[in-house]
Structures are given as structure tokens and as C-alpha cells.
Structure 1
Amino acid sequence: MQRTLLERLDPVTDDVVSLVLRGADGPLAPWEPGAHVDVALPNWLTRQYSLCGDPADRGTYRVAVRYDPLSRGGSEYIHRFLRPGRTLDVSLPRNHFPLVPAPRYLFLAGGIGITPVLPMLRAATAAGIPASLVYAGPSVDAMPFAGELRAAYGDAVRIVATREHGRPDFDALAAGLEPGTLVYCCGPASMLAAAEAAFPAGRLHAERFQPLPRVFAPNTAFDAVCARSARTVPVPADESLLDALNHAGFPVPSGCREGVCGSCELRVLDGEPEHRDDIGAPEGRMYACVSRALGPRLVLDL
């Protein structure tokens, strides 16, 4: 973890605040567009936020947080109780939504989904790569950074206030897509579904804040063999691997507990995991919050 000082907390819209976190012990770890960090809050919760500042600025990180009325305590604490001057521990950046090289880009964002897209658009423009953004939200006043985007990128950014103009026509955008263009989309589930229906799968990169509803076979019990500790942890059918390990004294980091943030990644030495995450675990890795074993045991690098 990196120790940071909350330098600024600024309202961006009525329900979104921007946090500027300055490294308390010197430069912060480098990151690339699409990355996110875990922020450990003073109320003992850890939450994940996309980095939306400038990767060239090693002194600070910027994130933005929308208030969720159904908050599990993260966004409510930030909006109601967090104040500048507070020290916060922040993880090293992780990136499951990297900007792949392409001759041109089309970015699609909805609401707070603009946060990972901001540095992507900045990077593409700085590199001289043609890029455009379609940014949708209920009204301009409710859309974080809409003014900043218009001022910086002009006609390359199309702001769509859906209450007035309806949703963007993704089918028309797909029909006019130039060869080689990659499409990046982040926003609510309805926007992601519309993008997946309109754009070819090989051209579309999407990031989800919530996992897709999916059905898996019933849970079965298995053993987690911790190779470095020479211990075996039974994982009952009604308990996650993450919880079983934590209860056995292995403090595996965790954040979302939904298979979308990647903070609970483990190295698998033997056995076959049943991957239930939404970000695609790398070869030889698994996410302990949701994934399980396809056989009677897994050997883990713990």
C-alpha cells in the first residue's frame, strides 16, 4: 500500500466528488490509462476507483466518487465525512482495462463511467491518434467533467443528455466505424449491453462496475493447500475461498468481493480453478472472492 494525503475534495456535480491524493512519502507508483486503485477508508472499508488524472503526474492520483443511495458505506462515508488532510492508504494501480494500440479510437462513456475514459482520451490525443468520445448522461449538469472535456477536446467530444435527446444510436455509430477503430465503453449495464449488441466483439473493450448475472453449478467443498505454509484449509460449499483463507489466518486482500476488481488475486500452483470473475484471470491465477475449484483441491502460493 502507498500512504497518501487527501489534498483536495471538490464537488464535480451534485452527487460526484473529485479526490486528489498526494503521495505522503514521495512519488506514487506509475500507472497507465484504464487503471484503478483500492482506497482504504477510515471506516474500515476498501473501495476501488478508476484513476482519472494524468499518468505523467507522479505526485498525485485523482479519482471521482458518485454518491450511491444504496451505498454499502463507501461512497456515503466519502461524501458525508471525509475531509482534506486525512491520510489514506492506496494500493498499487492495477489495470484490467488497458488501452490497446490502435490507429483510431471511439470512446463511449455513461455517467461515472467517464473516469477511466478521461486518461484514455488524453493519451490518444497526445499521441496524435484520432479519437472521439460519446458521453451520455441524464443531463449535462449531472455528467462529471463534461465542461472539462468540452474545453479540452471541442468537437471530438459529443455530450448526449438522454432526458432531452434520448440514448446514443450505437447501431449508427457501428455502421460508420472506420477500419481498425477500437471501441472502449464504460458505463451502466444497459449501456454495455447496447454496445455489445451493436459493435463487433473483437473491436469492443468494456469495463463493468458490477458483475454480469450468471449461473454456475452448485458449490462443492474442496481443499486449499497453502504450499509455502504447509497447511491445508478446507473450503466448505457454503463459504468462499477468500473467507475460508481469512478465517484460517491468511489475510488475503479484498475489495469488491464480486470478481470485478482483482484485489484478491492468488497464484495457483496445481489444480484447476473454476473462474467466476468478470475480468478474466491470467493463466495460473484466480480471484478468491468468487472463484472455486473444479476438483477436490487447489494448491496455492500461500
Structure 2
Amino acid sequence: MQRTVLEQVEPVAEDVVALVLRGADGPLAPWEPGAHVDLALPNWLTRQYSLCGDPADRDSYRVAVRHDRLSRGGSEYVHLFLRTGRALEVSLPRNNFPLAPAPEYLFIAGGIGITPIVPMLAAAVGAGASVTLVYAGRSVAAMPFAEELRAVHGDRVRLFATEEHGRPDFAELAAELSPRTLVYCCGPESMLDAAEAAFAEQRLRIERFRPVAKQFAPNEPFEVQCARSGRSVQVDAGDTVLNALHHAGFPVPAGCREGVCGSCEITVLDGEPEHRDDIGAPPGRMYCCVSRALSPRLVVDL
């Protein structure tokens, strides 16, 4: 974890504030557009937020937090109790939504889903690509960074205030695209579902804040062999690998506990994992908050 100090809390839309976190011990870890961090809040909760500042700024990170009326305690604490000057720990950046090189991009964002798109848009423009941002929200006043983006990027930014003009027509947008265009989309589930229906899978990249509902075979118990310690941990049918490891004294990091953030990644040395995450675990890895085993035993690097 990196030590930071909360330098600024700035309202950037209705029910949305931007936090500027300055490194307390010198430069912060580098990051690339699409990355997010875990923010450890003083109320013992850890939440994931996309970095929406400038990757060239190694002195501070910027994130934005929407006040969720059904908050589980994270966004409510940020909006009601967090004040400048507070020391906060922030994880190293992780990137499950990287920006791939392309000559043309269509970025689609809904509401707080604009946060990973902000640095992507700047990077794509800086690389000389042809860029369009389609940004939808209930109203312009409810859309974080809308005026900032329009001021910087001009006609590249198309704002859709859905209360006045309705939602953008994704099928029409898809029909206009050249074969060289990559599409990046982040927003509410309804927007992501519409994007998946409209755009070819090979050109579409999305980031979800919530996991997609999936069906799996009934859970079976299995054993996790921790290679470095020589200990074995039993994972019951009603438990998760993450919880079983925590109860056994292995402090594996945990953020979302839903398979969307990647903070609980562990290395699998033997056995067959059953991947239940929404990220796509790389070979030899698994996200142990939701994933299980298809073999009676997994050997992991712990």
C-alpha cells in the first residue's frame, strides 16, 4: 500500500466528488489509462476507484466517487465524513481495462463510468488517433467532468442528456464505424448490455462495476495446498477460497469480493481452477474471492 494525504475534495457533478490524493512519501506508482486502485477508508472499508487524472502526474492520484443512495458504507463515508488532510492508504494500480493501440476509437460512457475513459481519451488524442466520445447521463449537471471534457476536446465529445434527448442509438453508431475502430464502454449494466448487442465482440472492450449473473455446477469441497508454507486449507462447499485462506491466517488482499477488481489474485501451481470472475484470469492465476476448483486439490503459491 502507498501512503497518501487527501489534498482536495471537489464536487464535479450532482452527487459526485473528485478526490486528489497526494503521495506522502514521494512519487506514487506509475499507471496507465484504464487502471484502478483500492482506497482504504477510515471506516475499515476498502473500495475500488478508477484513476481519472493524468498518468504523467506522479505526485498525486485523482479518483471520483458517486454517492450511492444504497451505499454499503463506502461512498456514503466519502461524501459525508471524509475531509482534506486525512491520511489514506492506496494500493498499487491494477489495470483490467487497458487501452490497446488503434488508429480510431469510439469511447462510450454512462455517468460515473466516465472515470476510466477520461485518461483514455487524452491518451488516444495525444497518440494522434481519430477519437469520438459518446457520453450519456440523466442531465449534464449529473455527468462528472462533462464541461471539462468538452472544453478540452471540443467536437470529439458528444453529450447525451437522456432526460431531454433520450439515449444514444448504438446500432446507428455501429453502422458508422470503420473496421479499424476499437470501442471502449463503461457505465451502467443496461448500457453495457446494449453495447454488447450492437458492437462486434472483437472490437468491443467493456468494464463492469458489478459481476454478470452466471450459472455454475453446485459447489463441492476441495483442498488448497499452500506450497511455500506446506499447509493445507479445506474449502467447504459453502465457503470461498478467500475466506478459507483468511481463516487459516493467509492475509490475501480483498477488495470487491465479487470477481471484478482483481485484488485477490493468487498464483496456481497445480490443479484446475474454475474461473468465476468477470475479468479473465491470466494462465496460472485465479481470483480467489469467487473462483473455485474443478480438481480435488489446488496447489497455490502461498
The question of a shared fold, defined as TM-score above 0.5 by the shorter chain, is answered with: yes
1:93 aligned residue: 93
SS of 2:152's equivalent in the other structure is: helix
2:114 aligned residue: 114
Are residues 1:129 and 2:129 paired? Answer: yes
SS of 1:125's equivalent in the other structure is: helix
Are residues 1:21 and 2:47 paired? Answer: no
SS of 2:116's equivalent in the other structure is: helix
| Aligned pairs (5 A) from 1:1-302 | 1-302=1-302
Displacement of 1:128 in angstroms is 1.2
Q: Distance in 1 between matches of 2:159 and 2:103?
A: 23
Displacement of 1:14 in angstroms is 2.2
For residues 127-157 of structure 1, give each alpha carbon's deviation from its aligned partner in whole angstroms, at most 9, with x where no partner exists: 1111110000011110000000110011100
Q: Distance in 1 between matches of 2:58 and 2:247?
A: 37
For residues 71-115 of structure 1, give each alpha carbon's deviation from its aligned partner in whole angstroms, at most 9, with x where no partner exists: 111000000000000011000000000000011100000000000
The answer to which of 7-16 and 278-287 deviates more is 7-16
- Give TM-score scaled by structure 2 length: 0.99
SS of 2:47's equivalent in the other structure is: strand
Give the aligned residue type for 1:240: T
Displacement of 1:179 in angstroms is 2.2
SS of 2:8's equivalent in the other structure is: strand
SS of 1:88's equivalent in the other structure is: strand
Displacement of 1:187 in angstroms is 0.3
Q: Distance in 2 between matches of 1:180 and 1:127?
A: 15
Q: Distance in 1 between matches of 2:82 and 2:43?
A: 10
The answer to which of 123-132 and 25-34 deviates more is 123-132
Q: Distance in 2 between matches of 1:227 and 1:147?
A: 53
Q: Distance in 2 between matches of 1:73 and 1:260?
A: 19
* Alignment size in residue pairs: 302
Give the aligned residue type for 1:74: G
SS of 1:205's equivalent in the other structure is: strand
Contact 2:47 2:74 survives alignment (8 Å): yes
Q: Distance in 2 between matches of 1:13 and 1:173?
A: 27
SS of 1:243's equivalent in the other structure is: helix
Q: Distance in 2 between matches of 1:229 and 1:70?
A: 41
Displacement of 1:13 in angstroms is 1.5
Give the aligned residue type for 1:274: E
Displacement of 1:21 in angstroms is 0.3
Give the aligned residue type for 1:95: N
SS of 2:10's equivalent in the other structure is: strand
Task: Give the alignment's Cα RMSD to 1 decimal.
Answer: 0.5
SS of 1:37's equivalent in the other structure is: strand
SS of 1:260's equivalent in the other structure is: coil
Q: Distance in 2 between matches of 1:48 and 1:114?
A: 15
Q: Distance in 1 between matches of 2:89 and 2:252?
A: 16
Unaligned runs of 5+ in 1: none
Give the aligned residue type for 2:75: S
Q: Distance in 2 between matches of 1:265 and 1:96?
A: 12
Q: Distance in 2 between matches of 1:259 and 1:138?
A: 28
Q: Distance in 2 between matches of 1:179 and 1:268?
A: 38
Q: Distance in 2 between matches of 1:168 and 1:25?
A: 45
Q: Distance in 2 between matches of 1:84 and 1:298?
A: 45
Displacement of 1:231 in angstroms is 0.2
Contact 2:14 2:143 survives alignment (8 Å): no
Q: Distance in 2 between matches of 1:195 and 1:58?
A: 34
Give the aligned residue type for 2:88: L
